[in-house]
Structure 1
Amino acid sequence: MKNQINAESARRLLQSQGWLTQRPQQFQIDILQYAQLLAYDTGSYTHHIGDEPGGVFAVVQGSFGVLGPNLASGVVMGHVHRAGAWFGEGPLIFGTRRLLEFRALEPSTVMHVPLVALERLQHRDPDFRNQIMTLVAHSSLLVSRAVSDLLIRRSEQRIAAVLLRVSGADGLTGPSVTGPVHLTQSIIAELSNCSRHTANVTLKAFEQRGWLEIGYATLTIHSPDGLRSFLTEEN
Protein backbone atom coordinates (compact mmCIF):
# COMPACT_ATOMS: atom_id res chain seq x y z
CA MET A 1 0.00 0.00 0.00
CA LYS A 2 1.31 3.44 -0.90
CA ASN A 3 0.46 5.16 2.38
CA GLN A 4 -1.52 3.83 5.29
CA ILE A 5 -4.59 5.96 5.91
CA ASN A 6 -6.98 5.83 8.84
CA ALA A 7 -10.77 5.92 8.64
CA GLU A 8 -11.07 9.53 9.74
CA SER A 9 -8.60 10.73 7.11
CA ALA A 10 -10.45 8.67 4.50
CA ARG A 11 -13.73 10.33 5.44
CA ARG A 12 -12.19 13.78 5.13
CA LEU A 13 -10.79 12.91 1.72
CA LEU A 14 -14.18 11.73 0.44
CA GLN A 15 -15.79 14.92 1.72
CA SER A 16 -13.27 16.98 -0.23
CA GLN A 17 -13.40 15.38 -3.69
CA GLY A 18 -15.69 13.45 -5.96
CA TRP A 19 -19.44 12.80 -6.01
CA LEU A 20 -19.99 13.11 -2.26
CA THR A 21 -18.89 16.76 -2.19
CA GLN A 22 -22.01 17.66 -4.20
CA ARG A 23 -24.39 16.13 -1.66
CA PRO A 24 -25.89 17.82 1.44
CA GLN A 25 -23.67 17.82 4.50
CA GLN A 26 -26.07 15.73 6.58
CA PHE A 27 -26.15 13.07 3.86
CA GLN A 28 -22.34 13.00 3.89
CA ILE A 29 -22.31 12.51 7.65
CA ASP A 30 -25.02 9.83 7.54
CA ILE A 31 -23.45 7.64 4.87
CA LEU A 32 -19.89 7.96 6.15
CA GLN A 33 -20.78 7.00 9.71
CA TYR A 34 -21.30 3.42 8.50
CA ALA A 35 -18.26 3.33 6.18
CA GLN A 36 -15.60 0.71 6.82
CA LEU A 37 -12.01 0.98 5.57
CA LEU A 38 -10.92 -1.94 3.36
CA ALA A 39 -7.67 -2.64 1.50
CA TYR A 40 -7.29 -4.55 -1.78
CA ASP A 41 -4.16 -6.00 -3.33
CA THR A 42 -3.42 -5.63 -7.03
CA GLY A 43 -5.69 -7.91 -9.04
CA SER A 44 -8.25 -8.49 -6.29
CA TYR A 45 -11.95 -7.74 -6.77
CA THR A 46 -14.50 -5.97 -4.61
CA HIS A 47 -17.09 -8.29 -6.19
CA HIS A 48 -17.89 -10.14 -9.42
CA ILE A 49 -20.76 -10.01 -11.90
CA GLY A 50 -23.63 -12.10 -10.54
CA ASP A 51 -22.57 -11.87 -6.89
CA GLU A 52 -25.17 -11.38 -4.18
CA PRO A 53 -26.35 -7.79 -3.59
CA GLY A 54 -24.04 -5.67 -1.47
CA GLY A 55 -23.16 -2.14 -0.48
CA VAL A 56 -21.37 0.79 -2.08
CA PHE A 57 -17.66 1.55 -2.27
CA ALA A 58 -15.69 4.79 -2.41
CA VAL A 59 -12.10 4.85 -3.64
CA VAL A 60 -9.70 6.46 -1.18
CA GLN A 61 -6.34 5.42 -2.62
CA GLY A 62 -5.28 3.59 -5.76
CA SER A 63 -7.50 2.69 -8.70
CA PHE A 64 -10.09 0.14 -9.83
CA GLY A 65 -10.87 -1.07 -13.31
CA VAL A 66 -14.59 -1.11 -14.11
CA LEU A 67 -15.47 -4.32 -15.95
CA GLY A 68 -18.71 -5.33 -17.62
CA PRO A 69 -20.04 -8.15 -19.80
CA ASN A 70 -19.35 -8.14 -23.53
CA LEU A 71 -21.03 -10.56 -25.94
CA ALA A 72 -17.90 -10.95 -28.05
CA SER A 73 -15.11 -10.84 -25.47
CA GLY A 74 -16.61 -11.99 -22.19
CA VAL A 75 -15.75 -9.36 -19.57
CA VAL A 76 -13.99 -6.15 -20.61
CA MET A 77 -12.74 -3.01 -18.89
CA GLY A 78 -14.47 0.24 -19.76
CA HIS A 79 -13.25 2.77 -17.22
CA VAL A 80 -10.91 3.35 -14.28
CA HIS A 81 -12.11 4.73 -10.94
CA ARG A 82 -9.72 6.80 -8.84
CA ALA A 83 -9.84 8.56 -5.47
CA GLY A 84 -13.22 10.17 -4.82
CA ALA A 85 -15.17 7.79 -7.07
CA TRP A 86 -18.15 5.85 -5.70
CA PHE A 87 -19.60 2.67 -7.16
CA GLY A 88 -21.81 -0.33 -6.41
CA GLU A 89 -25.17 1.43 -6.00
CA GLY A 90 -27.07 -0.96 -8.29
CA PRO A 91 -28.35 -3.48 -5.70
CA LEU A 92 -29.79 -0.75 -3.46
CA ILE A 93 -31.62 1.00 -6.30
CA PHE A 94 -32.62 -1.91 -8.52
CA GLY A 95 -32.61 -4.85 -6.11
CA THR A 96 -30.39 -6.88 -8.43
CA ARG A 97 -27.29 -8.99 -8.11
CA ARG A 98 -24.02 -7.35 -9.09
CA LEU A 99 -24.06 -6.21 -12.73
CA LEU A 100 -20.42 -5.09 -12.92
CA GLU A 101 -17.15 -6.05 -11.29
CA PHE A 102 -14.27 -3.92 -10.05
CA ARG A 103 -10.61 -4.98 -9.98
CA ALA A 104 -7.83 -3.23 -8.10
CA LEU A 105 -5.20 -2.13 -10.63
CA GLU A 106 -2.71 -1.41 -7.85
CA PRO A 107 -2.72 -1.67 -4.04
CA SER A 108 -5.87 0.28 -3.20
CA THR A 109 -8.04 1.40 -0.30
CA VAL A 110 -11.79 1.96 -0.23
CA MET A 111 -14.50 2.90 2.21
CA HIS A 112 -17.33 0.37 2.10
CA VAL A 113 -20.88 1.05 3.28
CA PRO A 114 -22.76 -2.27 3.76
CA LEU A 115 -26.13 -2.76 2.09
CA VAL A 116 -27.90 -3.23 5.43
CA ALA A 117 -26.68 0.21 6.55
CA LEU A 118 -27.85 1.79 3.29
CA GLU A 119 -31.28 0.19 3.67
CA ARG A 120 -31.48 1.44 7.25
CA LEU A 121 -30.67 4.99 6.13
CA GLN A 122 -33.16 4.77 3.28
CA HIS A 123 -35.91 3.65 5.66
CA ARG A 124 -35.10 6.44 8.11
CA ASP A 125 -34.87 9.29 5.58
CA PRO A 126 -37.13 9.38 2.49
CA ASP A 127 -34.71 11.77 0.75
CA PHE A 128 -31.80 9.34 1.10
CA ARG A 129 -32.83 7.39 -1.99
CA ASN A 130 -33.02 10.61 -4.01
CA GLN A 131 -29.45 11.40 -3.05
CA ILE A 132 -28.27 7.91 -4.05
CA MET A 133 -30.07 8.34 -7.37
CA THR A 134 -27.70 11.21 -8.14
CA LEU A 135 -24.90 8.62 -8.01
CA VAL A 136 -26.82 6.58 -10.59
CA ALA A 137 -27.01 9.69 -12.77
CA HIS A 138 -23.30 10.35 -12.25
CA SER A 139 -22.46 6.78 -13.26
CA SER A 140 -24.69 7.08 -16.32
CA LEU A 141 -22.77 10.16 -17.46
CA LEU A 142 -19.52 8.20 -17.19
CA VAL A 143 -21.00 5.39 -19.27
CA SER A 144 -22.17 7.89 -21.87
CA ARG A 145 -18.73 9.44 -22.08
CA ALA A 146 -17.03 6.05 -22.37
CA VAL A 147 -19.33 5.08 -25.23
CA SER A 148 -18.73 8.44 -26.90
CA ASP A 149 -14.96 7.96 -26.66
CA LEU A 150 -15.19 4.54 -28.31
CA LEU A 151 -17.16 6.01 -31.22
CA ILE A 152 -14.17 8.14 -32.25
CA ARG A 153 -13.03 6.56 -35.50
CA ARG A 154 -9.35 7.50 -35.54
CA SER A 155 -7.53 5.25 -33.07
CA GLU A 156 -4.96 7.88 -32.03
CA GLN A 157 -7.71 10.36 -31.16
CA ARG A 158 -9.67 7.63 -29.40
CA ILE A 159 -6.63 6.93 -27.22
CA ALA A 160 -6.27 10.64 -26.43
CA ALA A 161 -9.91 10.82 -25.31
CA VAL A 162 -9.56 7.72 -23.16
CA LEU A 163 -6.38 9.06 -21.55
CA LEU A 164 -8.11 12.29 -20.56
CA ARG A 165 -11.03 10.38 -19.04
CA VAL A 166 -9.31 7.56 -17.15
CA SER A 167 -6.18 9.40 -15.99
CA GLY A 168 -8.19 12.08 -14.23
CA ALA A 169 -6.14 14.76 -15.99
CA ASP A 170 -9.19 16.64 -17.26
CA GLY A 171 -10.93 16.85 -13.89
CA LEU A 172 -14.30 15.99 -15.48
CA THR A 173 -14.74 12.56 -13.87
CA GLY A 174 -13.25 13.52 -10.51
CA PRO A 175 -10.59 15.78 -9.03
CA SER A 176 -7.92 16.82 -11.52
CA VAL A 177 -4.88 14.55 -11.26
CA THR A 178 -1.46 16.02 -12.07
CA GLY A 179 0.96 13.34 -10.87
CA PRO A 180 1.75 9.83 -12.15
CA VAL A 181 -1.20 7.44 -12.32
CA HIS A 182 -1.14 3.68 -12.64
CA LEU A 183 -1.97 2.89 -16.28
CA THR A 184 -0.27 0.15 -18.25
CA GLN A 185 -0.14 0.22 -22.03
CA SER A 186 -2.15 -3.00 -22.20
CA ILE A 187 -4.93 -1.43 -20.12
CA ILE A 188 -4.94 1.63 -22.37
CA ALA A 189 -5.20 -0.63 -25.41
CA GLU A 190 -8.17 -2.46 -23.89
CA LEU A 191 -9.93 0.74 -22.86
CA SER A 192 -9.36 2.25 -26.32
CA ASN A 193 -10.38 -0.89 -28.25
CA CYS A 194 -7.13 -1.03 -30.19
CA SER A 195 -4.07 -3.26 -30.41
CA ARG A 196 -1.21 -2.97 -27.94
CA HIS A 197 1.06 -2.04 -30.84
CA THR A 198 -1.18 0.89 -31.78
CA ALA A 199 -1.37 2.00 -28.15
CA ASN A 200 2.41 1.78 -27.70
CA VAL A 201 3.19 3.72 -30.88
CA THR A 202 0.60 6.38 -30.07
CA LEU A 203 1.78 6.86 -26.49
CA LYS A 204 5.38 7.26 -27.65
CA ALA A 205 4.26 9.86 -30.19
CA PHE A 206 2.37 11.74 -27.46
CA GLU A 207 5.45 11.57 -25.23
CA GLN A 208 7.62 13.04 -27.99
CA ARG A 209 5.20 15.96 -28.24
CA GLY A 210 5.60 16.56 -24.51
CA TRP A 211 1.98 15.77 -23.67
CA LEU A 212 2.74 12.90 -21.31
CA GLU A 213 5.53 10.89 -19.74
CA ILE A 214 5.64 7.11 -19.78
CA GLY A 215 6.91 5.41 -16.62
CA TYR A 216 6.95 1.84 -15.38
CA ALA A 217 3.24 0.93 -15.43
CA THR A 218 2.47 4.64 -14.99
CA LEU A 219 1.62 7.69 -17.05
CA THR A 220 1.91 11.36 -16.18
CA ILE A 221 -0.21 13.71 -18.27
CA HIS A 222 1.72 16.96 -18.69
CA SER A 223 -0.54 18.66 -21.21
CA PRO A 224 -4.27 17.89 -21.12
CA ASP A 225 -4.71 20.87 -23.46
CA GLY A 226 -2.41 19.22 -25.99
CA LEU A 227 -4.51 16.06 -25.95
CA ARG A 228 -7.73 18.09 -26.25
CA SER A 229 -6.37 20.02 -29.23
CA PHE A 230 -5.36 16.76 -30.88
CA LEU A 231 -8.96 15.56 -30.58
CA THR A 232 -10.14 18.40 -32.81
CA GLU A 233 -7.52 17.91 -35.52
CA GLU A 234 -8.72 16.97 -38.97
CA ASN A 235 -8.14 13.35 -39.97
Structure 2
Amino acid sequence: MEQSCRKCSDVLRGLASVGWLAEQPDAFQTRMARAGRWSTVPRGGLLYAVGDVPNAIFGLGEGLLEVSIPITGEEEVTIYRARPGFWIGDSALLAETTRSITVSAAVESRIFRVPIGAVRRNLAEHAEDWICFFRLNHANATLAVRILAEVLALTPRARFARMLLRLADPDGSVRATQEDLCRMAGMSRAAFRRAFKGLIDAGSVRTEYGVLWIVDRAALQLASEEA
Protein backbone atom coordinates (compact mmCIF):
# COMPACT_ATOMS: atom_id res chain seq x y z
CA MET A 1 0.00 0.00 0.00
CA GLU A 2 2.85 2.39 0.87
CA GLN A 3 4.47 1.72 -2.51
CA SER A 4 1.13 2.33 -4.23
CA CYS A 5 0.80 5.69 -2.44
CA ARG A 6 4.31 6.66 -3.53
CA LYS A 7 3.46 5.83 -7.15
CA CYS A 8 0.23 7.81 -6.80
CA SER A 9 2.20 10.85 -5.58
CA ASP A 10 4.59 10.48 -8.51
CA VAL A 11 1.69 10.57 -10.97
CA LEU A 12 -0.23 13.38 -9.29
CA ARG A 13 2.88 15.47 -8.50
CA GLY A 14 1.87 18.66 -6.70
CA LEU A 15 -1.81 17.71 -6.66
CA ALA A 16 -0.98 15.07 -4.04
CA SER A 17 0.19 17.75 -1.60
CA VAL A 18 -2.09 20.77 -2.09
CA GLY A 19 -5.79 21.34 -2.65
CA TRP A 20 -8.90 19.18 -2.49
CA LEU A 21 -7.43 15.90 -3.73
CA ALA A 22 -4.54 16.04 -1.26
CA GLU A 23 -7.10 15.97 1.59
CA GLN A 24 -8.90 12.83 0.37
CA PRO A 25 -8.19 9.19 1.38
CA ASP A 26 -5.15 7.49 -0.16
CA ALA A 27 -7.31 4.90 -1.93
CA PHE A 28 -9.33 7.62 -3.64
CA GLN A 29 -6.17 9.46 -4.68
CA THR A 30 -4.83 6.23 -6.17
CA ARG A 31 -7.99 5.69 -8.24
CA MET A 32 -7.85 9.27 -9.50
CA ALA A 33 -4.16 8.92 -10.37
CA ARG A 34 -4.85 5.78 -12.40
CA ALA A 35 -7.82 7.35 -14.20
CA GLY A 36 -6.33 10.69 -15.26
CA ARG A 37 -3.75 12.04 -17.67
CA TRP A 38 -1.64 15.20 -17.76
CA SER A 39 -1.85 17.69 -20.61
CA THR A 40 -0.59 21.20 -21.33
CA VAL A 41 -3.11 23.94 -22.12
CA PRO A 42 -1.73 27.09 -23.81
CA ARG A 43 -2.54 30.57 -22.57
CA GLY A 44 -6.13 31.37 -23.50
CA GLY A 45 -6.95 27.71 -24.14
CA LEU A 46 -10.33 26.48 -22.93
CA LEU A 47 -10.89 23.60 -20.55
CA TYR A 48 -14.59 24.08 -21.27
CA ALA A 49 -17.13 26.80 -22.06
CA VAL A 50 -20.68 27.67 -21.06
CA GLY A 51 -23.09 25.22 -22.67
CA ASP A 52 -20.56 22.42 -23.19
CA VAL A 53 -21.52 18.86 -22.34
CA PRO A 54 -19.25 17.69 -19.48
CA ASN A 55 -16.62 15.13 -20.38
CA ALA A 56 -14.11 15.33 -17.50
CA ILE A 57 -13.04 16.99 -14.27
CA PHE A 58 -9.79 18.93 -14.09
CA GLY A 59 -7.03 19.57 -11.56
CA LEU A 60 -4.54 22.42 -11.95
CA GLY A 61 -0.97 21.26 -11.42
CA GLU A 62 0.93 24.29 -12.75
CA GLY A 63 -0.11 27.70 -14.05
CA LEU A 64 -3.28 29.71 -13.52
CA LEU A 65 -6.92 29.20 -14.49
CA GLU A 66 -9.62 31.83 -15.00
CA VAL A 67 -13.23 31.08 -14.11
CA SER A 68 -15.79 33.21 -15.98
CA ILE A 69 -19.57 33.48 -15.92
CA PRO A 70 -21.99 34.94 -18.51
CA ILE A 71 -23.76 38.15 -17.57
CA THR A 72 -25.57 39.40 -20.70
CA GLY A 73 -25.72 37.76 -24.09
CA GLU A 74 -22.24 36.58 -25.03
CA GLU A 75 -20.47 38.83 -22.51
CA GLU A 76 -18.65 37.04 -19.69
CA VAL A 77 -16.88 38.33 -16.60
CA THR A 78 -13.96 36.62 -14.88
CA ILE A 79 -14.79 36.03 -11.22
CA TYR A 80 -11.80 34.02 -10.04
CA ARG A 81 -8.19 33.20 -10.91
CA ALA A 82 -7.22 29.78 -9.55
CA ARG A 83 -3.81 28.56 -8.45
CA PRO A 84 -2.32 25.03 -8.42
CA GLY A 85 -4.31 22.56 -6.34
CA PHE A 86 -7.63 23.86 -7.71
CA TRP A 87 -10.16 21.35 -9.10
CA ILE A 88 -13.20 22.13 -11.23
CA GLY A 89 -15.74 20.46 -13.49
CA ASP A 90 -17.42 18.06 -11.09
CA SER A 91 -20.73 19.86 -10.58
CA ALA A 92 -22.20 19.73 -14.09
CA LEU A 93 -20.68 16.30 -14.69
CA LEU A 94 -22.32 14.69 -11.67
CA ALA A 95 -25.58 16.62 -12.16
CA GLU A 96 -25.66 15.48 -15.81
CA THR A 97 -26.27 18.99 -17.10
CA THR A 98 -24.37 21.37 -19.37
CA ARG A 99 -21.62 23.70 -18.19
CA SER A 100 -22.73 26.99 -16.64
CA ILE A 101 -19.26 28.59 -16.45
CA THR A 102 -16.20 28.93 -18.67
CA VAL A 103 -12.75 27.84 -17.50
CA SER A 104 -9.62 28.85 -19.41
CA ALA A 105 -5.86 28.99 -18.92
CA ALA A 106 -4.60 32.45 -17.91
CA VAL A 107 -1.06 31.27 -18.68
CA GLU A 108 0.29 28.04 -20.12
CA SER A 109 -0.88 25.46 -17.60
CA ARG A 110 -0.45 21.79 -16.74
CA ILE A 111 -3.82 20.14 -16.25
CA PHE A 112 -4.69 16.71 -14.85
CA ARG A 113 -7.80 15.51 -16.69
CA VAL A 114 -10.00 12.69 -15.34
CA PRO A 115 -12.55 11.62 -18.00
CA ILE A 116 -16.24 11.22 -17.24
CA GLY A 117 -16.24 7.47 -17.90
CA ALA A 118 -13.57 6.85 -15.27
CA VAL A 119 -15.38 9.04 -12.72
CA ARG A 120 -18.67 7.21 -13.22
CA ARG A 121 -17.01 3.79 -13.18
CA ASN A 122 -15.21 4.53 -9.92
CA LEU A 123 -18.42 5.80 -8.32
CA ALA A 124 -20.30 2.68 -9.41
CA GLU A 125 -17.61 0.44 -7.92
CA HIS A 126 -16.76 2.57 -4.87
CA ALA A 127 -19.82 4.29 -3.41
CA GLU A 128 -17.60 5.73 -0.66
CA ASP A 129 -16.08 8.05 -3.29
CA TRP A 130 -19.25 10.17 -3.38
CA ILE A 131 -18.29 11.96 -0.16
CA CYS A 132 -15.02 13.08 -1.78
CA PHE A 133 -16.90 14.76 -4.62
CA PHE A 134 -19.39 16.28 -2.17
CA ARG A 135 -16.39 17.86 -0.41
CA LEU A 136 -15.17 19.34 -3.70
CA ASN A 137 -18.62 20.66 -4.53
CA HIS A 138 -18.91 22.19 -1.05
CA ALA A 139 -15.50 23.86 -1.34
CA ASN A 140 -16.30 25.44 -4.71
CA ALA A 141 -19.79 26.49 -3.59
CA THR A 142 -18.27 28.15 -0.51
CA LEU A 143 -15.80 29.97 -2.75
CA ALA A 144 -18.63 31.22 -4.98
CA VAL A 145 -20.62 32.50 -1.99
CA ARG A 146 -17.55 34.29 -0.64
CA ILE A 147 -16.99 36.02 -3.97
CA LEU A 148 -20.65 37.10 -4.07
CA ALA A 149 -20.46 38.38 -0.48
CA GLU A 150 -17.44 40.52 -1.35
CA VAL A 151 -19.26 42.05 -4.32
CA LEU A 152 -22.29 42.90 -2.18
CA ALA A 153 -20.55 44.10 0.97
CA LEU A 154 -17.26 45.74 -0.03
CA THR A 155 -16.26 48.92 -1.84
CA PRO A 156 -14.63 48.51 -5.27
CA ARG A 157 -11.27 49.48 -3.78
CA ALA A 158 -11.58 46.87 -1.01
CA ARG A 159 -12.56 44.17 -3.52
CA PHE A 160 -9.62 45.06 -5.73
CA ALA A 161 -7.22 45.04 -2.76
CA ARG A 162 -8.46 41.59 -1.69
CA MET A 163 -8.05 40.28 -5.20
CA LEU A 164 -4.45 41.50 -5.36
CA LEU A 165 -3.64 39.90 -2.01
CA ARG A 166 -5.04 36.58 -3.27
CA LEU A 167 -3.19 36.75 -6.58
CA ALA A 168 0.19 37.89 -5.28
CA ASP A 169 3.18 35.56 -5.40
CA PRO A 170 5.37 35.29 -2.27
CA ASP A 171 7.65 38.03 -3.64
CA GLY A 172 4.69 40.44 -3.83
CA SER A 173 4.28 40.33 -7.61
CA VAL A 174 1.00 39.98 -9.47
CA ARG A 175 1.76 38.96 -13.04
CA ALA A 176 -1.19 40.29 -14.98
CA THR A 177 -1.94 43.20 -17.26
CA GLN A 178 -4.29 45.99 -16.23
CA GLU A 179 -6.78 44.60 -18.74
CA ASP A 180 -6.56 41.19 -17.04
CA LEU A 181 -7.04 42.76 -13.61
CA CYS A 182 -10.03 44.81 -14.73
CA ARG A 183 -11.67 41.71 -16.18
CA MET A 184 -11.04 39.68 -13.04
CA ALA A 185 -12.26 42.46 -10.76
CA GLY A 186 -15.64 42.42 -12.49
CA MET A 187 -15.86 46.23 -12.40
CA SER A 188 -16.63 48.89 -14.95
CA ARG A 189 -13.50 50.46 -16.44
CA ALA A 190 -14.21 53.72 -14.61
CA ALA A 191 -14.58 52.00 -11.22
CA PHE A 192 -11.46 49.94 -11.86
CA ARG A 193 -9.39 53.01 -12.77
CA ARG A 194 -10.49 54.82 -9.60
CA ALA A 195 -9.69 51.82 -7.39
CA PHE A 196 -6.35 51.23 -9.10
CA LYS A 197 -5.32 54.89 -8.93
CA GLY A 198 -6.29 55.07 -5.26
CA LEU A 199 -3.99 52.17 -4.34
CA ILE A 200 -1.11 53.60 -6.39
CA ASP A 201 -1.53 57.08 -4.89
CA ALA A 202 -1.56 55.55 -1.40
CA GLY A 203 1.77 53.84 -2.10
CA SER A 204 0.30 50.37 -1.66
CA VAL A 205 1.26 49.14 -5.13
CA ARG A 206 3.39 50.10 -8.11
CA THR A 207 3.29 48.93 -11.70
CA GLU A 208 5.71 47.73 -14.32
CA TYR A 209 5.02 46.31 -17.76
CA GLY A 210 2.93 43.17 -17.31
CA VAL A 211 3.39 43.04 -13.54
CA LEU A 212 2.10 44.80 -10.45
CA TRP A 213 4.13 44.89 -7.22
CA ILE A 214 2.72 45.09 -3.71
CA VAL A 215 4.86 47.73 -1.99
CA ASP A 216 3.01 48.07 1.32
CA ARG A 217 1.17 44.86 2.21
CA ALA A 218 -0.12 46.26 5.51
CA ALA A 219 -1.70 49.25 3.76
CA LEU A 220 -3.21 46.97 1.13
CA GLN A 221 -4.60 44.72 3.86
CA LEU A 222 -6.16 47.77 5.52
CA ALA A 223 -7.72 48.85 2.22
CA SER A 224 -9.14 45.34 1.76
CA GLU A 225 -11.15 45.73 4.97
CA GLU A 226 -13.03 48.86 3.88
CA ALA A 227 -16.80 48.37 3.87
Offset from partner CA, 1:124-162 (integer Å, 9 cap, x none): 111111101111001011101111221245221121122
Alignment of 1:30-109 (within 5 A): 30-71=31-72, 74-109=75-110
Between the aligned partners of 1:154 and 1:192, the Cα distance in structure 2 is 12
SS of the equivalent of 1:127 reads: helix
- Unpaired segments ≥5 residues, structure 1: 1-6, 170-176
Once superposed, what is the RMSD of the aligned Cα atoms? 2.6
> 1:106-145 to 2 correspondence within 5 Å?
106-145=107-146
Letter in 2 for 1:162: M
CA separation of 1:158/1:57 partners in 2, compared to 1, >3 Å: closer, same or farther?
same
- How many angstroms does 1:163 deviate by? 2.2
Instruction: Decide whether aligned partners of structure 1 residues 226 and 73 sit closer, same or farther in structure 2, where only a CA change above 3 A counts.
Output: farther
- 8 Å CA contact retained: 2:46, 2:103: yes
The 2-side partners of 1:198 and 1:123 are apart by 50
Determine the structure 2 residue equivalent to 1:182. 175
The amino acid of 1:60's aligned partner reads G
Once the two structures are superposed, the pairs formed by residues 5-24 of structure 1 within 5 Å of their partners are 11-24=12-25
- Point out the structure with max Rg over C-alpha: 2
For residues 145 and 28 of structure 1, do their structure 2 counterparts lie closer, same or farther at Cα, with a shift above 3 Å needed? same
For 1:93 and 1:190, the matched residues in 2 are separated by 29
Alpha-carbon separation, structure 2, partners of 1:152 and 1:217: 30
The structure carrying a bigger helix percent of its residues is 2
Partner of 1:214: 207
Q: Contact 1:55 / 1:91 at 8 angstroms: preserved in 2? A: no
Q: Which residue of 2 aligns with 1:173?
A: none
Which position in structure 1 is the counterpart of 2:186?
Answer: 193
Q: 2:149: which partner in 1? A: 148
Aligned length: 219
Cα distance in 1, alignment partners of residues 67 and 138 from structure 2: 17
TM-score normalised by structure 2 residue count: 0.84
> Any conservation in 2 of the 1:185–1:199 contact (CA below 8 Å)?
no
CA contact (8 A) 1:156 1:202 kept: yes
TM-score w.r.t. the length of structure 1 is: 0.81
Helix, strand or coil at the partner of 1:117: helix
Check 1:42–1:126 CA distance in 2 against 1; reply closer, same or farther (3 A cut): same
